[in-house]
Amino acid sequence: MVESKKQWKAWLYLAPALVLLAIFTVWPIFNTVRMAFLENYSGLKAAGGETFAFGIGNFKKVLEYKKFVNCLKTTALLCVATVPISTLLALLISVALNSIKPLQRLLQTIFFLPYVTNSIAIGMVFAAMFNIVGSFHGTQNEIIATAGIVNNVIEFFGGTAVNWINSGSSYAANITVMIIYIVWNALPFKILILLGGLQSINKQYYDAAKVDGSTRSRILWRITVPLLSPMLAYVIITGFIGGFKEYTSIVGIFGATMGPPDDGGRLNTMVGFIYDALSTNSQGRASAAALILFGIILVVTLINLAVSKKNTHY
């Protein structure tokens, strides 16, 4: 056949991409699995000629770490809290954006800005906003003088300032800041996708619904949301996947300590745990943790897909 004769050409063209893929994607995946199942594997010791026994000790160790369980808790908490909030907000905002004519372009751009802004930079701005003090080493008087804008607003309305992120702050306050930040950061992408979906819905359905006497909220829940369900499923699934990989947002606000100065690591996440393990040359444990994270994301995504299959409509 002519085609099979030409096949080698196709492979030739594909070769550069395949080679890169093999080196930087396929091999690391294999290597991760290999390292995860070698007891106490360490790259440094391996270079020194040490050999490692095969086993599941890395997984056991990782799961026994209190730190790891904490990371898992924080990650799951952030996921479960932020995905529904950001999805709902994105839905309402995109529906509102879609229904106004003047300034739609401008507002669309404004809502999209966070997407093109570096998330570490955004994190630092948030950190400044939620600061209770300008300097960690200040006296009591300085604390009040340099409060962040959020506390300024709270005090303006007669509330008492909250220690959001500084030494002595509570886990709940920390998580609240993180949720606000992650939701805000996640909105642009979701709005973009949902707005695109909304604009592709045939306007006649809305005319029909109006003639049928639907109220606005009924139209939203009975017409818009079902017609938008494929896009909603997409942003929810990608939201969960992104949520389980949460790391930079914490660094953005709390820095590499992953927590307030007096309790570093308090807000550490799964990915943070993996980085820490790598930095102590425990590639075996890092790989095991990575595989556990992969397993969790896989299961959550499968559940998501199963649920969305039931609820998306065409």
Partner 1 sequence: MKVVLENLTKVFPNRTKGGEDVVAVNDFSFEIPDGKLVGLLGPSGCGKSTTLYMICGLQKPSGGKIFFGEDDVTDLPPEHRGVGLVFQNYALYPHMTVKQNILYPLQNLKGEDKLSKEEMLKRTVEVAKLVQIDNLLDRKPSELSGGQQQRVAIARALVKMPRVLLLDEPLSNLDARLRLQTREEIRRIQQETGITTIFVTHDQEEAMSISDMIVVMKLGVVQQIGKPQNVYDDPANLFVAKFLGTPPINVFEGEVRGGMLFIGEDPVMAVRNVPDQKVSVGIRPEGFILDERGPLHCHINGVEVMGRDVSIVATNEASLNPVVRSIISAENKVDTSSGTVRYSIKPHKLFLFHHETEERIPFEV
**307 near partner 1, judged by CB under 8 A:** no
Size of the site for partner 1 (CB under 8 A): 20
**216 near partner 1, judged by CB under 8 A:** no
Euclidean distance between CA atoms 177 and 237, whole angstroms: 23
Residue from 7, 25, 215, 280 binding partner 1 (CB under 8 A): 215
CB of 213 to partner 1, least distance (A): 3
Residues in the chain, total = 314
Binding mask 72-111 for partner 1 (x = CB under 8 A): ----------------------------------------
CB of 173 to partner 1, least distance (A): 42
Q: Which range binds partner 1 by CB under 8 A, 106-114, 159-167, 219-227, 247-255?
A: 219-227
Q: Which is nearer to partner 1, 48 or 213 (CB)?
A: 213
**204 near partner 1, judged by CB under 8 A:** yes
Phi, psi angles (nearest 5°) of residue 254: -100, -5
Question: Helix axis angle, 66-99 relative to 104-112, nearest 10°?
Answer: 170
**222 near partner 1, judged by CB under 8 A:** yes
CB of 201 to partner 1, least distance (A): 10
Q: Which range binds partner 1 by CB under 8 A, 73-81, 120-128, 154-162, 215-223?
A: 215-223
**226 near partner 1, judged by CB under 8 A:** yes
The residues in 229-268 that bind partner 1, with binding defined as CB under 8 A, are 229
**210 near partner 1, judged by CB under 8 A:** yes
**205 near partner 1, judged by CB under 8 A:** yes
**213 near partner 1, judged by CB under 8 A:** yes
Q: Which residues bind partner 1 (CB under 8 A)?
A: 202, 204-205, 207-215, 218, 222-223, 226-227, 229, 313-314
